[in-house]
Amino acid sequence: MVLKQTFFLNYVLAFLLLGFFSGPDVYADLYKKVDRYGNTFYTDKPDSTGYRLIIRTPKKGSIEYKNFEANRHKHAPVIRKQARKYRVDPALVMAVVHTESAYDRKAVSKAGAVGLMQLMPKTAQRFGVTDRRNAEQNINGGTRYLRYLLELYKFDIRLALAAYNAGEGAVLKYGNKVPPYAETQAYVKTVISRYQDYMKTSASL
């Protein structure tokens, strides 16, 4: 399915996009493309060049999914350790890592975000991360940043996640509300859905 976005349809498109992530048994990648006229398109099945992956979910039964499961168990102790250190629910950190990188410590975005929690260079520097590919450093910096955002927005998880995805400036621009960007709306919904799942299962990891 391909969806076209305009500024005025951001909210409507967000709800349509969120259909890709309506439950724990739904697995779909989400791709985005901006054409030369400034039109933005989203799809879970890109059939032409120019699309970039913005939300990644391994498919059950694939080799990638098996690697995902192995990495998830591998990094869970570090996530719990850093979550305790900064007093953040480990299930929330796991949901962010899942959505940002699918537990791939080598993940790199087109924007230059790196590692498990997809830290940008300035964010890494701000929170003392010298090697973004180092799993423990990356999780430390990302969890510390998440704690900062939770405090900044009075523990409103939706706003903290929106800022993690789109930046603090974007949240401020829209009056301390989740920005009406389809990508950010989908991100917040996805992380919260996964957070709810991890609250039920994180103790077993």
In tens, the pLDDT along 164-198 reads: 999 999 999 999 999 999 889 999 999 999 999 99
Best CA proximity match to 41, nearest among 6, 72, 74, 8:
6
- Residue 151 annotated in active site: no
In tens, the pLDDT along 142-162 reads: 999 999 999 999 999 999 999
Answer yes or no: is 193 within a domain: yes
Provide the number of structural domains found in the chain. Answer: 1
Cα–Cα dist 130/115, whole Å:
12
Active-site choice (64, 69, 100, 136): 100
Answer yes or no: is 159 within a domain: yes
Radius of gyration, CA atoms only, the chain: 16
Answer yes or no: is 191 within a domain: yes
Answer yes or no: is 144 within a domain: yes
CATH of the domain at 109: 1.10.530.10
Total-model pTM? 0.73
For residue 18, CA distances in Å to 137, 165, 182, 186 come to 31, 16, 9, 5
User: Residue 81: which domain range?
Assistant: 60-204
Answer yes or no: is 166 within a domain: yes
